[in-house]
Amino acid sequence: MGQSRLASGAVIRRGVIAWEVAECELLPRGYGVAWWYVHKKSAICLPCGLHLIIGAARNAYVWFVTRRTPDAIERAYRLGLQDGRRSAELSFARRLQSAEQDAFERGMLAEQLSVGIREEITALRVEIGHA
């Protein structure tokens, strides 16, 4: 509604140019980081001086809406990511262990079957008289 995106990645918000800069990219000259999007791993940059005012206003808005500071929300987001990663690693380890156990049991079963088949073949040869 009150914003448009330029081809260069700049977003015009009511006459102020804000840049969304991805992690590890250089900041535009004369711009500072107003706030950081943890989930997108990018920062919103505004002209120097203005970035402090608008960043503080956004932090105040977030605090009024959620009763938490943006840092606490980002910390909770990071903890959730770490917990999810840890649970995925444990799940993968359990599935791998289960697959290894299944393969071992199948190998043992195949060996028992082959021993049983060899015994049957030997018994048939004895009956026929080829042994």
- Higher pLDDT residue, 5 or 76? 76
pLDDT band of residue 38 (cuts 50, 70, 90) is: confident
DSSP 43-54: EEEEETTHHHHH
Residue 1 has pLDDT above 50, yes or no: no
pTM of the model: 0.50
Could you give the 3-state DSSP secondary structure of residue 28? Answer: coil
Q: What is the mean pLDDT of residues 13-32?
A: 84
- The per-residue pLDDT for range 91-124, each reduced to its tens digit, is 988 888 888 888 888 877 778 778 888 888 888 8
Distance CA 95, CA 89 (A): 10
Calpha distance 5→85 (Å, rounded)? 34
- Please state, as a whole number, how many other Cβ atoms lie within 10 Å of the Cβ of residue 63: 14
- The mean predicted confidence, pLDDT, of the chain is 82
Can you give the pLDDT at residue 39?
Answer: 79
pLDDT at residue 56 is higher than 70 = yes
